[in-house]
Structure 1
Amino acid sequence: MPEGKIVKALSGFYYVLQNEEMIQCRGRGVFRKNKITPLVGDEVVFQAENEREGYILEVKERKNELVRPPIANVDQAILVFSAVEPNFSTVLLDRFLVLVEFNQIVPLICITKIDLATSDHKLTISEYAEQYKAAGYEVILTSSETEAGIEQLFPHVDNKISVFAGQSGVGKSSLLNVLRPDLELKTNDISSHLGRGKHTTRHVELMKIGNGLIADTPGFSSLEFNNIETEDLTSCFPELQKASEDCKFRGCLHVTEPKCGVKLAVESGGIPAYRYKHYLDFLQEIKDRKPRY
């Protein structure tokens, strides 16, 4: 049986790429029965009825999957956040980073619209960028208007499946248009009434850019920690994970425990206070989550 990769899912159809040929497939009823939903990024076995149509028979084992956006087998998440319009949000970025880290996906932070930032704002953004770099993240400052920083992105996408994700209106589609002009993806300005972006991407689709595949995804502004437990959270903050090696007690949650390496690192300035605050807020959110039965 032929095999391929789902590169687009739309209106009940799955578009499977095999040897540069696109086959439009439907899922067999067995998927609904077993509650398996094929996702963009899935490696699948399919049966072709002709050169252009067929049915998906099997979904290969996934190495990871995201729910929002719905995509599987991601190597890298390019988290796109704007310097302004909408303003850069560390708490929203940290929510994205936690989800990405938990799913063992390599994150890349891309800050857009640098050309629109004032001098003072640029200084603040540069400070944030340095702090995230110190935590162990790759950070690239870009502008779709001036194309600043764009060339730095290409080496990071080669030979990978990357997902573009971030708040609506930050310029994901504009950035993709610069990376590959022939895409001509639809873009919209942010809503002046709502103060956030209008959704321009309606479905998940993998697109070839350079020597890699990138998924443009519908923008969204909230993330749930449904599958993350309290003991998992430290590992989703690389600098906290490193500092926790100096904690006296195994299983330390870095809240009220004595001789905590993380709290000492925060007090000494080794970990930014806002990152630690976000950790505490997320920890409480997980604790307050209703138990699943």
Structure 2
Amino acid sequence: MEEGIIIKGIGGFYYVKVDDKIYECRARGVFRKKKITPLVGDKVKIRINEEDNSGYIEEIQKRKTELIRPPVANVNHAVIVFAVKKPDPNLWLLDRFLLLAESQDLDITICFNKIDLVDEKDTQEFINIYKKAGYRILTTSCKTGKGIDRLREILKDKITVFAGPSGVGKSTLLNNVQPNLQLKTGEVSQKTKRGRHTTRCAELLELNIGGWVVDTPGFSSLKIDYIEDDELGLYFREINDYSVDCKFTGCRHYKEPGCAVKEAVENEAISKLRYENYLKFLDELKKNRRY
């Protein structure tokens, strides 16, 4: 048997890369019986039929991570892309993406794209919010080439998922990182200033510099109902840091007395906007539990 990685899955067929060859494979029935679905990113063992370069997946190695939406295995890095203009950044949605990535214990890079469309000083306010929270920030422009070399360095030797709303330039960024990817790019609707989805299915793309990227569909919403409301603060880095000084163990940082997080918000050590988004997510999770 040969070891490889699933780079694409369509209609029950899985395309497995072994060294420099790609084999069209089906999964053995045993996986269906066990209710296991092979995922893009899975490291697998396959039995190959050399006559037609087809194969069967015989074994799926233990996954290090498993994303639900998109369904991808073994990702260890997320690049969360938002445009600074066209469309304007929705920081509530950015915090939602961050929450998903943090809950999967991924290394995270926030990429603010289309930086050529604005005066860079106009972006400092929201960039500083996330720098202060402890995130790696990258500003990029596909028109000027700003930040593309740095993005390549960050992607090297990682398995990266690109995430963000449609129209922010994810596919264009990847085409700039490695032109032979030739990913389809979409324009932003003039009426809504929102992007049209261009990526139809998750696919693992190999980088010449080493590493893989998944070009995923642009999301408009992300379910967070798998997160327990008492765990939410763990996934906001700065809230988690200050929570150790709260008076009560299990403090939700809402109405409890002696809350170090609320004090940090009042002292502007924690962004008020981030805290307000935390409270919105907390309320959403509580309502989910009620029904």
Normalising by the residue count of structure 1, what TM-score does the alignment of the two structures yield? 0.95
Q: How far does residue 197 in structure 1 lie from its aligned partner after superposition?
A: 0.9
Corresponding residue for residue 18 of structure 1: 18
Q: Work out whether 1:65 is the aligned partner of 2:66.
A: yes
Corresponding residue for residue 36 of structure 1: 36
Per mean C-alpha deviation after superposition, the further-off stretch among 124-133 and 151-160 is: 124-133
Q: Secondary structure at the match of 2:92?
A: helix
Q: How far does residue 91 in structure 1 lie from its aligned partner after superposition?
A: 0.5
CA distance in 1, matches of 2:210, 2:124: 30
Q: Work out whether 1:5 is the aligned partner of 2:5.
A: yes
Q: Secondary structure at the match of 1:26?
A: strand
Superimposed CA distance per residue, residues 193-232 of structure 1 (whole angstroms, 9 cap, x where no aligned partner) = 3431111111111112222111111111100112100121
Structure 1 residues 194 and 33: CA distance shift in structure 2, 3 A = farther
Per mean C-alpha deviation after superposition, the further-off stretch among 82-91 and 123-132 is: 123-132
Q: How far does residue 89 in structure 1 lie from its aligned partner after superposition?
A: 1.3
CA distance in 1, matches of 2:78, 2:272: 25
Corresponding residue for residue 92 of structure 2: 91
Corresponding residue for residue 232 of structure 2: 233
Corresponding residue for residue 283 of structure 1: 282
- Structure 1 regions of 5+ residues with no counterpart? none
Corresponding residue for residue 112 of structure 1: 113
CA distance in 2, matches of 1:48, 1:134: 51
Q: Work out whether 1:243 is the aligned partner of 2:242.
A: yes
Residue type at the aligned position of 1:66: L
Q: How far does residue 123 in structure 1 lie from its aligned partner after superposition?
A: 2.7
Superimposed CA distance per residue, residues 76-119 of structure 1 (whole angstroms, 9 cap, x where no aligned partner) = 000011011111111111000001000111110001111112x3
CA distance in 2, matches of 1:162, 1:202: 18
CA distance in 1, matches of 2:140, 2:44: 36
Corresponding residue for residue 197 of structure 1: 195
Per mean C-alpha deviation after superposition, the further-off stretch among 65-74 and 171-180 is: 65-74
CA distance in 2, matches of 1:124, 1:264: 28
Residue type at the aligned position of 1:227: Y
Which portions of structure 1, spanning 4 or more consecutive aligned residues, are displaced by more than 4 angstroms? none
Residue type at the aligned position of 2:94: L
Q: How far does residue 74 in structure 1 lie from its aligned partner after superposition?
A: 0.7
CA distance in 2, matches of 1:30, 1:146: 51
Q: Work out whether 1:139 is the aligned partner of 2:140.
A: no
Normalising by the residue count of structure 2, what TM-score does the alignment of the two structures yield? 0.95
Corresponding residue for residue 178 of structure 1: 176
Q: How far does residue 290 in structure 1 lie from its aligned partner after superposition?
A: 4.7
CA distance in 2, matches of 1:14, 1:157: 25
CA distance in 2, matches of 1:256, 1:66: 33
Superimposed CA distance per residue, residues 15-63 of structure 1 (whole angstroms, 9 cap, x where no aligned partner) = 1111222111112222222221111111112211226211112222111
CA distance in 2, matches of 1:184, 1:64: 28
Q: How far does residue 8 in structure 1 lie from its aligned partner after superposition?
A: 1.3
Per mean C-alpha deviation after superposition, the further-off stretch among 230-239 and 206-215 is: 206-215
Q: How far does residue 291 in structure 1 lie from its aligned partner after superposition?
A: 6.5
Q: How far does residue 10 in structure 1 lie from its aligned partner after superposition?
A: 2.1
- Correspondent of 1:159 among 153, 157, 160: 157
CA distance in 2, matches of 1:58, 1:222: 33
CA distance in 2, matches of 1:88, 1:223: 16
Identity %: 48
CA distance in 1, matches of 2:13, 2:30: 15
- Structure 2 regions of 5+ residues with no counterpart? none
CA distance in 2, matches of 1:29, 1:226: 31
Q: How far does residue 284 in structure 1 lie from its aligned partner after superposition?
A: 0.8
Q: Secondary structure at the match of 2:23?
A: strand
Q: Work out whether 1:264 is the aligned partner of 2:270.
A: no
Q: Secondary structure at the match of 2:231?
A: helix
CA-based RMSD of the aligned residues comes to 1.4
CA distance in 2, matches of 1:232, 1:291: 17
Corresponding residue for residue 128 of structure 1: 126
